[in-house]
Chains A and B, each alone.
Chain A
Amino acid sequence: MTELTQSLRESFTQRTNGPLRLLREAAFARFAKLGLPTTQDEDWKYTSLAALAQMRFELAAEATVHDVDRWTLSDAAVRLTFVNGRYRPELSSRAPGGAFIGSLSAALVERPELVERELARHADSHGDALTALNTAFIEDGAFVHLPAGAALQAPIHLLYVSTAPGKPTLSQPRNLIVAGANSQATVVETYAGLDNEVYFTNAVTEVVLGDNARVDHYKLQAESARAFHVALTQIHQGRDSRFSSHSVALGAALARNEVRALFASEGSECTLNGLYMATGKQHLDNRTLIDHKSPRCTSRELYKGVLDGHSRGVFSGRVLVRQDAQKTDASQTNKNLLLSDDAIVDTKPQLEIFADDVKCAHGAAVGQLDENALFYLRSRGIGQEAARSLLTYAFASEMVNLVPLGPLRARVRDLVTSKLPAFERLKEAA
């Protein structure tokens, strides 16, 4: 047994009471059986958790931070702030209205029937060890429940801040977003950490869309440079629903972000966008699954990666078109820009089609900065480093520009430019 599993077992036995005891015990048993994945597992071939397995983490250490201003969004209707996975009302704001937007721990007390209807019914705690681990420790996170027809224009901001001043900490936020029929919302998850602290975030978000619901989901991963981050966003789409996901992965020493969408009923649309930018020795793994289980659904996927230094990027995208999913329209693209000779990217697009009347396309590309463009810029007086940053930004900007104009786009743009060496000069690029 690894250090990590040993320390988790000790923590688990200390905290097995509570409303979800059976669910949690079953999940812990699964986790104990599966163990932490290794690179022997096909799903983890490119991402090693060996460093993580050696560590002991303190679970959801109670803590707070002074202020969260640098991560807030000025136009958010609601902000729920979690520090080390626990809801902090003093750092949060709540909007009135018919929707429940609050902490999962509060919801389990106030509206257990709403929570239990969907919680842990979508994310796979059986085959996926880290999801099982999250489920085993379900305690807090965000619960968003939109009744039928509710439409929220301004974003709901879920902010997860980790701090580990002493020992490394483990936070396992568990989020549930239930969008009733004909409802609409934008949800932004921001993951951030303090400076150079070592911690591990293992997050699971389940999103359930009712018929004709619309959810736009943004995930900004800006963890500290020494953090570990593993997250699953599991989407369940009802009939004629529309979901979009924008993953921006920039932080952490090692991160793995997985998005899985299931078309449970017909006529829906799913858009998965992603941008990952790694520098130094960062390892950023992106994994997606779009399960076309039902007919007449459309999926669009575009992931772009920028890898510099000795970093490594992984894109593994699977589109599964099942036998009954006639009239499926699916496209998937992954493009990578390698900025250094020592950077590596593994790209693995997978299209599996079992229906015959479908339109599917996929492609992957790995390239370098265009020498002609670089010379063109330099010949006009733009220094080499600035020219490289400008061209890199140009590559990434396609993803930035997919975010609607406003504070969120500005935040994404700032996060992206902060990863570029000559970013000061490029602040106004977009």
Chain B
Amino acid sequence: MTRSELLLRVKDLHATVGGKEILRGIDLEVGPGEVHAIMGPNGSGKSTFAQVLAGRETFEVTKGEVLYQGQDLLALSPEERAVAGIFMAFQYPVEIPGVGNLYFLRTALNALRKRRGEEELDAMDFLALAKQKMKLVAMDESFTGRSVNEGFSGGEKKRNEIFQMAVLDPRLAILDETDSGLDIDALRTVASGVNSLRSKDRAMIVITHYQRLLEYIVPDRVHVMGNGRIVRSGGRELALELEQKGYAQVEGRREAAR
């Protein structure tokens, strides 16, 4: 794949928080339609990487570059990134009392449409769209009347993230541990929702702690993160190897090979 065809190109990305370096030189290339899995132990920097891509200002990028569709992603605000087609499903979705779930999502969708020069959807058209997308993740319609994530169970919050993704229709979706806290039935539902959103135009970065999710969402590439870097990359068989040998050994092998 040539550079210009790449959707995302991350080069030697370093990021700190409060002076502490968390990302210590990440390299990653994602082409359109590809699904990349990022695995790694707790604290290795997966969520930090996801949030830096989404534009969280808590983290300071100290070195490196991120090109998205050939453009400097780091120069954009979070909302501009959303307009450009980036979506992150949060590991910990935020509860926002007083803001209706559907109102929030319609405001978001219309903000995107407006900035893209498209016509905004009225309440009726939006509701029709939302109902259709809710089916993808078997989300109960009663959630429409509630505040954003307020009082949702862990699983309901994760479904809500994928529902939002389905409505906002991003080009690059970053799913941060969307599987954690889900029982096996919920995992299947969410995974099938994600799979139905796979397309040749939409790339995904699926962050997970367990290879279990990857049985349902089969990735094109698997990367292992350790201590703020991608320490190994491979095909889907790498996930299985990780499952069998554990992170310590897989990471260790790389350190040894240096």
Contact = CB atoms under 8 A, between A and B. Distances in A.
Interface of A: 370-373, 375-384, 386-387, 390-391, 393-395, 397-398, 425, 428-429
A428 B105 CA distance: 13
Contact of A397 (B87, B98, B104, B109): B98
Interface of B: 54-58, 77-79, 81-83, 87-88, 90, 93-94, 96-100, 103-105, 107-109, 111-112, 115, 123, 147-148, 164, 168
Contact of B77 (A371, A384, A390): A384
B168 A381 contact: yes
Nearest to B105: A380
Contact of A381 (B90, B99, B103, B115): B115
B97 A382 contact: no
24 contacts: A370-B94, A375-B78, A376-B93, A377-B96, A377-B104, A378-B77, A378-B82, A379-B54, A380-B105, A381-B79, A381-B111, A382-B107, A382-B111, A384-B77, A386-B111, A387-B79, A390-B99, A390-B107, A391-B96, A394-B97, A394-B99, A397-B98, A425-B107, A429-B99
Contacts of B93: 376
Nearest 6 interchain pairs by C-beta: A394-B98, A381-B82, A380-B108, A378-B78, A376-B94, A381-B112
Contacts of B100: 429
B95 to A, nearest CB: 8
Given A375-B78, A429-B103, A382 B98 contact: no
Nearest to A396: B98
Given A391-B99, A395-B98, A397-B98, 8 more contacts: A376-B96, A378-B77, A379-B78, A387-B79, A393-B99, A394-B97, A425-B107, A429-B99
B98 A398 contact: yes
Contacts of B115: 381
Contacts of B56: 375, 379
Contact of B79 (A373, A378, A393, A395): A378
Nearest to A426: B107
A373 B96 contact: yes
Nearest to B110: A425
Nearest to A397: B98
Nearest to A381: B82
B120 to A, nearest CB: 10
Contacts of A429: 99-100, 103
B220 to A, nearest CB: 25
Nearest to A372: B94
Contacts of A376: 90, 93-94, 96, 148
